[in-house]
Amino acid sequence: MKKILGIVLATLVICLVVVLISTSAFATTAQGTGVLNNPILRLWNAIHNLQGQINSGELQALALRVATLEGRALPDCIIDADCDDNDPCTNQECNPVSGCVFTENAQCDDVSGAGSSTGITSGEVIITEFMYNPNAVTDTYGEWLELYNAGEDTVNLNGWSIQDEGTDSYTFSEDLIVIPGEYVVLCKNTDSNVNGGISCDVGYSSFTLGNTADSIILLDGSSGVVDQVSYDVSTAPWDSMDNAGYSLQLGLSSHDAASNDNGGNWCNAAVSYGLGDYGTPGEINSGC
C-alpha cells in the first residue's frame, strides 16, 4: 500500500511540475493569442506575469475576474496602467470584473486638431464675418471675427492660430471644440459690458485688424493654412463696404474657402446688436 501511495504522490508531483512549466512557457503568448480555459491556470499565468507586483487586495480582484471570465480570456489587468496601449487617443481603465476597457479620448473622438493624428482639410473651417472698424466702441474693445465649421468633422482649435499680413498673431492655447455647422466668435475683448455687447467664445489681445486693408489667416496646428481672407476697403469691391460700425459678412451661399476669397461675395451686415453696431456674431449671416 505504501508503495502504491508513493507512486501516486510521485505522479502528482510530476504532473504539477509539468503544469507549471507549460503555463510558464505559455505566459508570454497567452495574452496575445491563447485562451486558458482552466481558471486556476489562468490565475497562475496572470500572477506569473505580474512578477511579484501584487498585493492581497489585488489578488482578490484578480481571482474575481478569473472566475467571471471562465472560458473566455486571460485576466489582463489589476490597475489602469496595466491597460496602457500607448495610444493618446484612447482612455484605458481596468474594470475589476471585465478587465481592460478602452474608450476614445474626448479630444480625439472624430476630432481633427491638436489632439488627433488626422489632419484637417483646408477650407473645412472658414472665416465668415469680421468687425474690423467698430463704431459703438473703440477698436481695442470692439473688434471681433467669426469662424464657421463647414466640414463634416468636429474640430479642436487648440494649437491653431490666426495671424494677419503683418506681425500680429494669436495661438489657441486651450480646447475650443467646433462641431460641423457651428460658429465660434473670437473677440479683441471678451467683456460684453465694454465690447459693444458681444458674446465671445475666446479672446485675443495680440491681434489687430487694419481699418483699411489687412488679411486674416487661419492656421492649423502644423502651421498649414486652413483659410485666408484679404480685404482692402480702398479698392473695389470692398470700397462699397467701408462703413464704420458694420461688420463684413460672407454671403450665405458662399460658405466655402474658395468663395470667401472673392470680395464680391461679401457685404455689410444688416442686423444690429448690442450698442448699435451691425453684425451677426455667432449666428447665421443676414445675407448679401
DSSP-assigned letters across all residues of 16-46: HHHHHHHHHHHHHHHTTT-----HHHHHHHH
Q: What 3-state class would DSSP assign to 263?
A: helix
The pLDDT tens digits for 240-261 are 999 999 999 999 989 988 889 9
d(Cα 166, Cα 270) in Å, to the nearest integer? Answer: 30
Tracing cell 484679404 back to the chain, one arrives at 230
Q: Which of 21-25, 178-182, 208-212, 264-268 is the least confident region?
A: 21-25
What is the pLDDT at residue 65?
Answer: 57
Query: Higher confidence at residue 9 or residue 197?
Result: 197
CATH class, 112-278 region: mainly beta
From residue 269, give the alpha-carbon distance in Å to each of 81, 164, 189, 242, 265: 54, 22, 20, 12, 12
Dig out the grid coordinates for 93 from the structure.
481603465
From residue 69, give the alpha-carbon distance in Å to each of 35, 45, 57, 95, 100: 11, 14, 19, 12, 12
9 pLDDT tier (thresholds 50, 70, 90): very low
Domain boundaries, the chain: 2-76, 112-278
CB-neighbour burial class of residue 17 (10 A; exposed 0-12, middle 13-18, buried 19+): exposed
d(Cα 139, Cα 131) in Å, to the nearest integer? Answer: 9
Q: What 3-state class would DSSP assign to 152?
A: coil
From residue 81, give the alpha-carbon distance in Å to each of 16, 32, 62, 73, 100: 32, 18, 15, 19, 10
d(Cα 215, Cα 222) in Å, to the nearest integer? Answer: 20
The secondary element (H helix, E strand) that includes residue 140 is helix 139-142
Per the CB < 8 A criterion, the answer to whether 126 and 216 are in contact is: no
What is the pLDDT at residue 16?
Answer: 45
d(Cα 109, Cα 100) in Å, to the nearest integer? Answer: 19
The secondary element (H helix, E strand) that includes residue 2 is helix 2-30
Say whether pLDDT at 170 is over 60: yes
Distance of CA 93 to the CA centre of its chain: 19
The pLDDT tens digits for 71-94 are 444 556 767 777 776 655 567 777
Per the CB < 8 A criterion, the answer to whether 43 and 66 are in contact is: yes
This prediction has a pTM of 0.60
Query: Nearest to residue 252, comparing CAs of 141, 150, 137?
Result: 150
